[in-house]
Structures are given as C-alpha cells and as structure tokens.
Amino acid sequence: MLHLSQSQSPDDSSTHVVLGTPLEMEPGENQEVIYFAAGCFWGVEKVFWETPGVVSTATGYMGGHKTHPTYSEVCEKTTGHAETVRIVYDTTLISAARLIALFFEIHDPTQKNRQGNDIGSQYRSAIWTTSPAQYATALDTREAYQNHIQSHGFGPITTTIEDASTTVFWQAESYHQGYLWKNPHGYQCHTRTGVACPILDTPEV
C-alpha cells in the first residue's frame, strides 16, 4: 500500500534544501520509502541526506494519535508521536538492508524513550516500513544486531517495527527541514554504541 504523508502547512517550502527534490515526493520507478525514528530528527536527517542512493528526506512526526501535531505539542509528549525522518531511496543504488543497518548504527537502540540527554517518548527508536520485504529485513536485522550487540555488553534493543500504513507521517514545520544545512553548527545528539550492524543484503546492491 502506498503511504501518503501529510504536509504540516501548505505554505512551507516544498523542496529539499540539499538534494533539490520534493520533500513530499512519492517514489517513482526503482524507488521506495522507509521511515526512521532515532532520536532528534535534525541529526538523523543529515546522516541520510548525505547517504548515496537517498533521493529525498523530510523530518516529521509519526506514531501518535493527534492530527496535525506541532513541534511544541510533540515535545510536551501529549500526542504520542516520535520525531521521524521520511526517506525516499533508489533501490538500484542502495538497499533497505543497508539503510536499516545504518539506522541501527547512528543511535543507541537499547535506550528506551531517549537518546543521550534527549529524554521522552518522542525520541524513541522505531522503524515504519512500506513493503513486506522491508518489514522482514527490519525484523531480521534487529534480531541479528541484538545477538551481535549483546556480546558487547549491551541490553535489549527497544526498536519497534511497524507497517507505515497503520499510521500517518505528519511533515514537520519548515524550519525543521534540512535544519543542519541551514544551521551547520546546530544541535546534534548521536549516542552510538560503536558496534557495527550486520547488513543482511543481496550481493547486487
């Protein structure tokens, strides 16, 4: 099922400041969408717009119960949303498996409802998938990484994995889009484990 995102407001800039692609672009031929929540979305988005094969990224809110949530509402933990990055990628250049492995490496998925000093359910670790293949890969990668990371002294992974069609991605306010390009010395919170994640990939990509 094609998962449609919802724009936060109609007058927001519609083009990615770095990639030059539409923020709300729907996937074309050989393209897919996946959603990652891994703490503060400013730094997460930057990691993925810098990743070869990623066509577009957008920050937003996902997994909550309120329509059209605002940043302040999400920060107040009244909506149930997680800060999330929507990623459109070219499957001929990068696989879902590689993106998912990168997702696990750029934060500490064993921290529940926080990343470092950022505390709250809006900073939880989550993946929303848009195809059965993505979903299976995410589950398998989580299991493989759990076995690997446990041997390095880390606890259970808290990352939830759900079908994106069960919720709505609400695009964040325009000043959150490409935030670290607009504010190169802006805040980033990357609490990483330092443990590499296995890539459950096919040889071609």
Q: How confident is the model at residue 202 (pLDDT cuts 50, 70, 90)?
A: low
Beta strands in the chain (DSSP E): 31-38, 54-62, 82-90, 114-115, 118-119, 125-129, 160-163, 170-171
Mean pLDDT of 65-93: 96
Class of domain 31-182: alpha beta
pLDDT higher than 90, residue 76? yes
The predicted pLDDT at position 189 comes to 72
| Average pLDDT of the residues of the chain | 90
Q: Which of 40, 75, 189, 197 is catalytic?
A: 40
CA dist., res. 137 & res. 129, Å (int) = 10
The predicted pLDDT at position 48 comes to 98
CA-nearest of 70, 130, 72, 76 to 100 is 130
| Catalytic-residue membership of 40 | yes
The predicted pLDDT at position 134 comes to 97
- Please report, for residues 70, 157, 165, the alpha-carbon distance to residue 106 in angstroms, rounded to integers and kept in the order given: 25, 14, 25
pLDDT higher than 60, residue 10? no
The structural domains of the chain, with segments of one domain joined by +, span 31-182
Q: How confident is the model at residue 110 (pLDDT cuts 50, 70, 90)?
A: very high
**Structure pTM?**
0.91
